[in-house]
A and B are shown apart, each in its own frame.
Chain A
Amino acid sequence: QVQLQESGPGLVKPSGTLSLTCAVSRGSISSSNWWSWVRQPPGRGLEWIGEIYHSGSTNYNPSLKSRLTISVDKSKNRFSLNLSSVTAADTAVYYCASGVVGATKGQNWFDPWGQGTLVTVSS
């Protein structure tokens, strides 16, 4: 089964840009899956951030869209997240996940997930 591993700085200053990368192994990022980011603030629930297809097509959570860029690097079999103008509210564990395509649009589920990486926004 494909494996996912997040990497990036664990501390970002307020108003800065949060940048994370998800390395895909034991599988190709050019498969039929969509590739997603999900975050979880400490002690709270899960929030879908957005997704990308290997073609570069993206879908974003409307609440984050103005600050969000998700990109894909097929040559390195990885995808990335950039979230700008961060505040303390963006402090969370960030997960990357493989979106398995269901029978029709909107039926995707997430499997597997990376182990997650904690990003703290603080000066």
Chain B
Amino acid sequence: QSVLTQPPSVSGAPGQRVTISCTGSNSNIGAHYDVHWYQQLPGTAPKLLIYGDINRPSGVPDRFSVSKSGPSASLAINGLRAEDEADYYCQSYDSNLSGYVFGTGTKVTVL
């Protein structure tokens, strides 16, 4: 089971801002391991959205922003658009498991 907890769903109207939290513990995010974020459009493979806590790969719009504090991180989507409707996952490393862990996933719905 996932050791990083995310809200099951968030929703917003076009143009609004939504945030997705990712809550871990002192063996992963709280231990200063980087947090990475992925977007999974329906029926497709996950795609890297944010890496190394704050970096956006080429092609990812700056509408996506991140923050991190203690054992938690957050992804914000500003100016929500229809094409942002997808599942979003955070990912980090856990020293107790000696392996990589994913968040439980959050479905973003554009109203």
A binds B: yes
Judging by beta carbons under 8 Å apart, are A106 and B93 in contact? Answer: yes
Total CB contacts across the A-B interface at under 8 A = 70
A51 vs B91: C-alpha distance in the bound complex, in angstroms? 15
Asked whether B63 is an interface residue with its Cβ less than 8 Å from the other chain, the reply is no
Q: Closest Cβ of chain B: how far from A99's Cβ, in Å?
A: 8
Judging by beta carbons under 8 Å apart, are B99 and A60 in contact? Answer: yes
Given A46-B89, A100-B51, A109-B34, verify A95-B100 contact (CB < 8 Å). no
**Binary per-residue interface labels of chain B (90-111) against chain A in the complex, 1 for a CB within 8 Å, 0 otherwise:** 0101010111111111000000
Q: How large is the interface on B (under 10, 10 to 19, 20 to 34, 35 or more residues)?
A: 20 to 34
A116 vs B44: C-alpha distance in the bound complex, in angstroms? 8
Residues of B close to A38: CB separation below 8 A: 46, 102
A112 vs B15: C-alpha distance in the bound complex, in angstroms? 29
Of the candidates A59, A61, A110, the one whose C-beta lies within 8 Å of that of B91 is A110
Residues of A close to B101: CB separation below 8 A: 48
Judging by beta carbons under 8 Å apart, are B99 and A113 in contact? Answer: no
Of the candidates B46, B100, B103, B104, the one whose C-beta lies within 8 Å of that of A113 is B46
Contact residues of A between 25 and 75, Cβ < 8 Å to B: 36, 38, 45-48, 50-51, 59-62
Residues of B close to A61: CB separation below 8 A: 97, 99
24 A-B pairs with C-beta separation under 8 A: A45-B2, A45-B89, A45-B103, A45-B104, A45-B105, A46-B38, A46-B91, A47-B102, A48-B102, A59-B98, A59-B99, A95-B46, A100-B51, A103-B52, A105-B93, A106-B95, A108-B93, A109-B34, A109-B51, A109-B52, A110-B36, A111-B57, A112-B47, A116-B45
